[in-house]
Amino acid sequence: MDKIRIVGGNPLNGVIPISGAKNAALPLMISSLLCDDTLTLENVPRLRDVALLTQILSNHGLDYSVDGKRAGQDTMTGQTIHLNASNIVDTTAPYELVSKMRASFWVIGPLLARMHNARVSLPGGCAIGTRPVDFFIDGLKALGAEIDMDRGYVKAEAKGGLKGGRVVFPKVSVGATHTVMMAATLAKGESVIENAAREPEVTDLANCLIGMGAKIEGAGTDTIHIQGVDRLGAHRHPVIPDRIETGTYAMAVAMTGGEVTLEGARGDLLESALDILRQTGTEITETNMGLKIRRNGAGINPVDISTEPFPGFPTDLQAQFMALMTRSKGVSKITENIFENRFMHVQELARLGAKITMDGQVASIEGVETLRGAQVMATDLRASVSLVIAGLAAEGETTVSRVYHLDRGFERLEDKLSRCGAVIERISA
Q: Which residues carry a binding-site annotation for phosphoenolpyruvate?
A: 22-23
For the question of residue 420 being annotated catalytic, the response is no
Cβ pair 19, 228 in contact under 8 A: no
Contacts of 276 (CB under 8 A, 6+ apart): 303, 305, 313, 321
- C-beta atoms surrounding 257 within 10 Å: 18
121 three-state secondary structure? strand
Contacts of 201 (CB under 8 A, 6+ apart): 21, 23, 24, 27, 174, 178, 240
User: What is the DSSP code (8-state) at residue 420?
Assistant: T
Nearest Cα to Cα of residue 197 among 229, 215, 171, 217 = 171
The string of DSSP codes covering 194-248 is ES----HHHHHHHHHHHHTT-EEE-BTBSEEEEE--S----EEEEPPB-HHHHHH
User: What is the DSSP code (8-state) at residue 403?
Assistant: T
User: What is the DSSP code (8-state) at residue 329?
Assistant: S
**Rounded Cα distance, 200 and 196, in Å:** 12
**Rounded Cα distance, 180 and 21, in Å:** 21
Cβ pair 388, 403 in contact under 8 A: no
**Rounded Cα distance, 303 and 381, in Å:** 24
- Binding-site sequence positions for UDP-N-acetyl-alpha-D-glucosamine: 102, 171-174, 316, 338
Cβ pair 309, 198 in contact under 8 A: yes
- Binding-site sequence positions: 22-23, 102, 171-174, 316, 338
- Among residues 35, 126, 208, 420, the one annotated as catalytic is 126
> Which residues have a catalytic role annotated?
126
